Structure 1
Amino acid sequence: MPRSEQRTMRSRAENREYRIFIAVPEGEAPPSGFPVVYVLDANSVFGTMVEAVRVQSRAPERTGVIPAIVVGIGYPTDGPFHPARHYDFTREIRLEDLPFKLRAGERPEHGGAEAFMAFIEDELKPRIEETYPVDRRRQTIFGHSLGGLFVLHMLYAKPEAFQCYVAGSPSIHWNKQVLLEEERAFASKLSASAGESTGETADIKLFLAIGELEKSHHTGGGENAAELCERLSALSEYGMVTEFKEFEGEGHVSVLPPLISRAVRFALRPEPADRQV
């Protein structure tokens, strides 16, 4: 792809191998640097995300999308997905507690979300920031399915890591009870911070989305996401913006292209003039 490259990185803590995809916009970076969109499952969606940003950002005054660096976090495979994603995107749970039955012989490795968060925050982001002109005030993380679940884990555990979170068709059913506990702690933290003497509020945006056809799935993905949006929308008084979109006629996989297009417009809106550097 134009103006893109790949690198291999290994996490220090667990020596897990990642294929990192990077695409940089044409032209000179603004004084504040380029926004960055970090994309999970990059083997499957990096190209779609890069093209969405590249095409829509050609005329920001008409599209409402500004140029951005896209960083994809993938795996050493030529396939669209890799089994390691189950480990990286989930918290530790008892598989017997899942609200559905695993297929015969299916017991995926899981529970690595903490280590994966540390890799992103302590290793990958510093590497990107020392190599490319990055606007640290405008960083987005995008994930779909199990990747969407991880985005929610990251939001709750490290809300300051990104300013924009995009969770498409999040597999909430994998870690539902853990996620509810994290959500309650996150809400309490936002409330407490807003109540302190500084009066500061959060600067966090969350875009949740599903495909219309997911509403009938036995895992309850559509219902889980809609209910989550309703709960998190109550945090708007603390500075959090939450949006929800159901894509008509789309299923769990086919939702990806329209989701990416909408996510780009959500995350990369031009800033007001008084915030530009």
Structure 2
Amino acid sequence: MKSTDYQPVVIPRSFSKIMTYQERDYHIFVSIPADPPPESGFPVIYLLDGNSVFATMTEAIRIQSRGPERTGVYPAIVVGIGYPTDGPYHPARFFDYTYEVPVSELPGNPKGADWPQMGGAEQFLTFLEEELKPSIEKDFPVDRTQQAIFGHSLGGLFVLHVLLSRPHAFQRYIAGSPSIHWNENVLLAKESQLPGLLTEELDVHALLTIGELENDGRFLVKEKALAMIERLSSMGKGQIKASFKEFADENHSSVLPALINQGLKFATKKTAR
């Protein structure tokens, strides 16, 4: 850039800070609606891989929430959880979004390299529950009865991990293209323990999605997602309401804008039990 006339672009009503937990740094991005908050506070969406999609989700909700009766998207706070990097992704996500599995049971790395360090999902979830959420609730008008977590790919796997291990943590779970194949046996073991965590008052909504072009037969993404939805829906007394969405003509990367649009409707709508 040769001219000095240009200034950095700033997303309106958005803020950021660095938080550190267990010697790991997180870049936290927050956007808030322009509307006055309702008495109960705004719905809040905790967005994984914040470096890659925070701006996209923030602009999508800013535009669509202007006419919620028409779009189905209501004003909400977006909390992007990212890392101190200028890139869209950081290798630290492999640790934060995965549970411990033997290297021999991992799928092959398509890049031919060794996988980064893994197995920190429980530690990362503790950071969300004990550090990040209390900080956000102290600083912004949050409706604690309408909290969503949104993740894609390994982020989608982490969303399922939270749903299966601490279903009370959020009320809306959005798992886009979840890497169920990463270590399905561990996920199934967690799922088998879920019925014991379903209290009478629990009211959870889960959305699993994929892009049509992702279902190439290697990992049986669609089949495994549909099977999980059927099992979740049959548990307890209907405390978990699970649904599935497939986006036509979208691949693992291109599906993100469509997933965000669908996820915003899912996360911000008011639903009766």
The two structures have a TM-score, normalised by structure 1, of 0.90
Gapped regions of structure 2 (runs ≥ 5): 1-10
Shift of 1:96: 0.6
Q: Distance in 1 between matches of 2:168 and 2:271?
A: 19
Of 2, 7, 12, which aligns to 2:17? 7
Q: Deviations over 1:91-142 (max 9, x none)?
A: 0000111244665332221000010000000000000000011110000000
What SS does the corresponding residue of 2:234 show, helix, strand or coil? helix
Shift of 1:201: 4.1
Shift of 1:64: 2.1
Residue identity in the other structure for 1:208: L
Which structure's residues are more often helix, by fraction? 1
Q: Name the structure 2 match of 1:16.
A: 24
Q: Percent identity?
A: 53
Q: Name the structure 2 match of 1:84.
A: 92
Q: 1:239 to 1:79 in 2, by over 3 A?
A: same
Q: Distance in 2 between matches of 1:10 and 1:101?
A: 29
Q: Name the structure 2 match of 1:264.
A: 264
Q: When the two structures are aligned, how many residues end up with a matched partner? A: 263
What SS does the corresponding residue of 2:264 show, helix, strand or coil? helix
- Whether 1:150 aligns to 2:158 is yes
What SS does the corresponding residue of 1:81 show, helix, strand or coil? coil
What SS does the corresponding residue of 2:127 show, helix, strand or coil? helix
Q: Distance in 1 between matches of 2:220 and 2:180?
A: 9
What SS does the corresponding residue of 1:237 show, helix, strand or coil? coil
Comparing 100-109 and 150-159, the one that deviates more: 100-109
Shift of 1:230: 2.1
Gapped regions of structure 1 (runs ≥ 5): 194-199
Q: 1:265 to 1:118 in 2, by over 3 A?
A: same
Shift of 1:252: 0.6
Contact 2:105 2:183 in 1 (8 A): no
- Whether 1:247 aligns to 2:247 is yes
- Whether 1:31 aligns to 2:39 is yes
The two structures have a TM-score, normalised by structure 2, of 0.92
- Whether 1:108 aligns to 2:96 is no
Comparing 180-189 and 70-79, the one that deviates more: 180-189
Instruction: List structure 1 runs of 4+ shifted beyond 6 angstroms.
Output: none
- Whether 1:44 aligns to 2:52 is yes
Q: Distance in 2 between matches of 1:270 and 1:242?
A: 16
Give the root-mean-square deviation of aligned CA atoms: 1.7
Contact 1:32 1:134 in 2 (8 A): yes
